[in-house]
């Protein structure tokens, strides 16, 4: 231990100190909290955007399968209920492909007429996810309530 004289007592106390004070710890916690508060909204937006990109990717997989079917069969697959893979598309979709996910359900649509014939609808109760996906999709597209539709043909 260092021997301290009265003259340099403060300097000596700083050299012998171990650990951190409560004030220093509170300052660090405050700074980390401020940084987390700044980053959290951006992180939430990035997560929603990633979920929307995943849903759009599934929609594009369906689109590719529909075009491949149309090329082979010279017609469009029949319309089925939401969340059900049309039987005609099963051979054209990747193994294990499902139209029902945790965040949303996809619906293949065959309207069979003018002005549009074929589309894919994203059905989700998460309006932020739906709006984000709709912004990322190419036109023509529209939404009605919790349904976000992308026209294929």
Domain ranges of the chain: 21-151
Mean pLDDT of 32-44: 87
Q: What is the largest CA-CA distance in the chain?
A: 99
Contact 151, 140 (CB under 8 A): yes
- Sign of torsion over alpha carbons 135, 64, 107, 75: positive
- CA atoms within a 13 Å half-sphere pointing along the CA-CB vector of 150: 24
pLDDT at residue 74, as a whole number: 92
Q: Compute the mean pLDDT over every residue in the chain, rounded to the nearest whole number.
A: 89
* Per-residue pLDDT tens digits for 118-148: 999 999 999 999 999 999 999 999 999 999 9
Mean pLDDT of 58-71: 96
**What share of the chain in percent tops pLDDT 90?**
73
C-alpha to C-alpha distance for 132 and 45, rounded to whole angstroms: 9
């Amino acid at each position: 231990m260092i021997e301290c004289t009265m003259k340099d007592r403060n300097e000596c106390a700083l050299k012998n100190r171990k650990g951190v004070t409560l004030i220093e710890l509170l300052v660090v916690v405050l700074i980390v909290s401020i940084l987390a508060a700044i980053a959290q909204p951006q992180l939430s937006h990035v997560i929603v955007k990633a979920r929307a990109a995943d849903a759009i990717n599934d929609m594009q997989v369906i689109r590719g399968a529909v075009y491949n079917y149309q090329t082979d069969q010279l017609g469009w697959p029949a319309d089925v209920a939401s969340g059900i893979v049309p039987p005609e598309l099963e051979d054209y979709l990747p193994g294990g492909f499902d139209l029902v996910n945790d965040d949303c359900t996809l619906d293949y649509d065959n309207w069979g007429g003018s002005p549009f014939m074929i589309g894919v609808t994203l059905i989700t109760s998460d309006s932020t996810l739906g709006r984000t996906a709709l912004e990322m999709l190419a036109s023509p597209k529209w939404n009605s309530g919790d349904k976000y539709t992308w026209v294929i043909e």
